[in-house]
Amino acid sequence: MVPGARLVVLGKQGAGKGTQCVRLSHHYVVPHVSTGDMLRAAVKQGTAMGKKAKSLMDRGELLGDDLIMDMVTERLGEKDVRARGFVLDGCPRTVSQAERLAAILAPYDLDLAIDLEVHTGQVLRRLAARRVCVDCGANYSTSTPPLISWTCDVCGGEVIQREDDTEEAISRRLEIYELQTTPLIEWYRSRGQLESVPGTGTPDAVTRRMVKVIEDRRNRGSGFG
């Protein structure tokens, strides 16, 4: 079996992070930990946290670091993650979250943070076309819909347009990304933990590029402990 991995995937909304994280989690046989999916599940279940999160999420605003990092700490403490690692999707989004993540993982650290690079014009087109399953989070688009009338191929759930994929919320999320998340890329670079990968081309081509940078690192022996 392939060895596990501890990975963070960064990238603008619509860069293809969700799709690629699912693929990496299958490749390395590690859980896909998506803070957005966890929060959407909490909203759907109507939990206290979900109620608190919904309006901020719909507006494209970030939730507080404490709430997010408590949720992530709990998930990263579970047995499956401790056994093999994780692919973290949607977190960290701020330098403060990254610092707290490093503290949670100590004495280990992340193997690698991968920045999935896509131009803003392209992510805007992708986000407008994006559709997701409300139950399992599987990604579709208007050009690659599920086989049967907006019913998820994976779990049979309803496939919809996300409530935060409105024009207004998208531009706010991209603005926040620029302000809060771009400094993270430099933060990981300065620690020697960053690789950038172009997010353009077919999903298969992007996955191959990501696996290659991970394997190159592994072979060089840097980061992987």
The tokens describing 223, both together, are 């980061």
84 is catalytic: no
Identity of residue 220: R
217 is catalytic: no
Say if CB 174 and CB 181 are below 8 A apart.
no
Min separation Cβ 189 and ligand AMP, Å: 19
Min separation Cβ 176 and ligand AMP, Å: 8
Residue placing its CB nearer to ligand AMP in the complex, 71 or 214? 71
Of the residues 23, 84, 100, 162, which is catalytic?
Answer: 162
Min separation Cβ 186 and ligand AMP, Å: 18
12 is catalytic: no
130 is catalytic: yes
Residue placing its CB nearer to ligand AMP in the complex, 171 or 222? 171
Q: What is the DSSP letter of 180?
A: I
209 is catalytic: no
Min separation Cβ 26 and ligand AMP, Å: 19
CA-nearest of 138, 162, 164, 161 to 62 is: 164
Contact residues for ligand AMP (CB under 6 A)?
13, 35-36, 39, 56-57, 60-63, 68, 90-91, 93, 97, 164, 173
The tokens describing 98, both together, are 């990254």
The span from the CA of 200 to the CA of 16, in Å, is 9
Task: Note the Cα 124 to chain centre separation in Å.
Answer: 17
Residue placing its CB nearer to ligand AMP in the complex, 163 or 216? 163
Which run of H or E residues covers position 178?
A: none
Min separation Cβ 183 and ligand AMP, Å: 14
CA-nearest of 97, 96, 74, 76 to 85 is: 76
The span from the CA of 21 to the CA of 7, in Å, is 9
Task: Note the Cα 4 to chain centre separation in Å.
Answer: 18
Residue placing its CB nearer to ligand AMP in the complex, 39 or 217? 39
Say if CB 146 and CB 152 are below 8 A apart.
yes
Of the residues 6, 12, 93, 126, which is catalytic?
Answer: 93
Of the residues 17, 40, 84, 100, which is catalytic?
Answer: 17
Residue placing its CB nearer to ligand AMP in the complex, 96 or 218? 96
Active site residues: 17, 93, 130, 162, 173
